[in-house]
Structure 1
Amino acid sequence: MSAPAKMTGRSRPSSESVFPRLIDAGIAIVRQGDPAELTIERVCQVANVSRATFYRRWNTITPILEGIVTKLLIEANPQIEYAGDLRTDMLRCAHGIAGLLSDPAIAALFRHLFAASTTNEDLRHAAQALDRRRNAPLIALLSEAQRTGRVTSRCRPDYIAYQVFGPIWHRTLLLQFPPTDDFIEAVVDTVLASILPVDPA
């Protein structure tokens, strides 16, 4: 995760040093409960960064929102290598995202981002990028499984990722039900049954 680069004078802190402070401040604000508090003024206050410093680099809060969610997604859903059991690895991906969304403050942030993205083009692009970030580790896992013949060559890993994560996001963010272990296992097992190679015997 890197900050949008913009060169500044020698006496000014670089974007690379300011950006992580703003991201950490934003996450601290989110965990306090109200994503509407994620304003430039509030984030700068918590990060101990002047608004003048912020505005020399960015014009909106969007890069900070995207950075916050990207960091949370990376921590919850890191890139993984195939460990020998596809079901176990798929469950690990699903549980990582479910665990992230089980935090009411984090779930509220995602709802806030998606609601705001309906009227804000920058946030819409950010939400689309974050969607790709969420799916990437599972797509990589499924692509490797497909390459080695562990899943059918007919499946589309990018589509399968939506089939795994879609029900979890719908249940958690829209219906606001907990993503229980049995629900997650049912989702993964249903998807897995549709992509395993058919035994010719």
Structure 2
Amino acid sequence: MMMTEAPSPRRGRGRGRRPAAEVRTEVLATAGRLLMEEGIRAVTFERIAREAGASKTTLYKWWPSPGALAAEAFFAESEPALEFPETGDLHADLITQLTSFVGLLTHGGAGKPISELIGAAQTDHDVAEAWSRTYALPRRELARVRLRKAQRSGELDSDADLDIIVDQLWGACYHRLLVLRVPLADLDIERLVTSALRGAGRPG
């Protein structure tokens, strides 16, 4: 007796209208997965619509281009791995976060996608705007929030330039990844953090 194929759960979705938030979440997850596994060229509205069970009209409504979608999806994909710890020890927390960031770029497969997104942002206004708004600026602000708390607790001088500290720490990673193109695994993260905080002025 021949067995009939079980109906695909994805094909069954067309029977009912899903909430917009659910569709958006799945679209971002699908785009993030394709970006990490295959690179930015794999993130097309046609493919995302097909695999996420969404309409292309919806995608065009929410994002001006596939590149802009890819930029936002990268934040959603990387956010769990890049949460900023708050243990009360600024030095240790910065080492933990930078170690997670470098690990995501090297072992987590994000090195190529992030390089492609930054490259595309140089010539594509939509990608540049989305990259800045949905990833670069929010991640920078998370670092500043942690540094401000360190100032309030006395771990960091009140007049320390927080933007310069951020540039020194994460800028060193991007410089190695995009300019020098040398292994990030060779970066001495503990020494980098120690040097940056010493230069910023740690009370006592």
TM-score by length of structure 2 reads: 0.80
Structure 1 residues 49-128: aligned runs within 5 Å: 49-81=54-86, 83-103=87-107, 105-128=109-132
Further displaced range: 85-94 or 50-59: 50-59
Aligned equivalent of 1:135? 140
* Structure 2 residue runs without a partner (length 5+): 1-15
Other structure's SS at 1:180 match: helix
Q: Which runs of 5+ in 1 are unaligned?
A: 1-10
Counterpart AA for 2:146: L
- What CA RMSD, in Å, does the superposition of the two structures yield over aligned residues? 2.3
Aligned to 1:38: 43
**Letter paired with 1:46:** E
Q: Post-superposition shift, 1:63?
A: 4.5
Would the aligned equivalents of 1:73 and 1:133 in 2 still touch at CA under 8 Å? no
Q: Please give the residue correspondences for 1:120-199 in structure 2 after superposition, counting only pairs within 5 Å.
A: 120-129=124-133, 130-180=135-185, 183-197=188-202, 199=204
Q: TM-score, normalised by structure 1?
A: 0.81
User: Bigger radius of gyration, 1 or 2?
Assistant: 2
**1:124-149 CA deviation, whole Å, 9 max, x = no partner?**
12222221122222211111111122
CA contact (8 A) 1:135 1:162 kept: no
The 3-state SS of whatever aligns with 1:32 is helix
Report the number of matched residues.
188
Give the SS at the match of 1:139. Answer: helix
The Cα of 1:73 is off from its aligned counterpart by 3.6
**Could you tell me which amino acid in structure 2 is paired with residue 89 of structure 1?**
D
Deviation larger for 42-51 or 15-24: 42-51
The Cα of 1:28 is off from its aligned counterpart by 2.0
Corresponding residue number in structure 1 for 2:24: 19
Matched letter for residue 112 of structure 1 = E
2: CA distance, partners of 1:19 / 1:99: 28
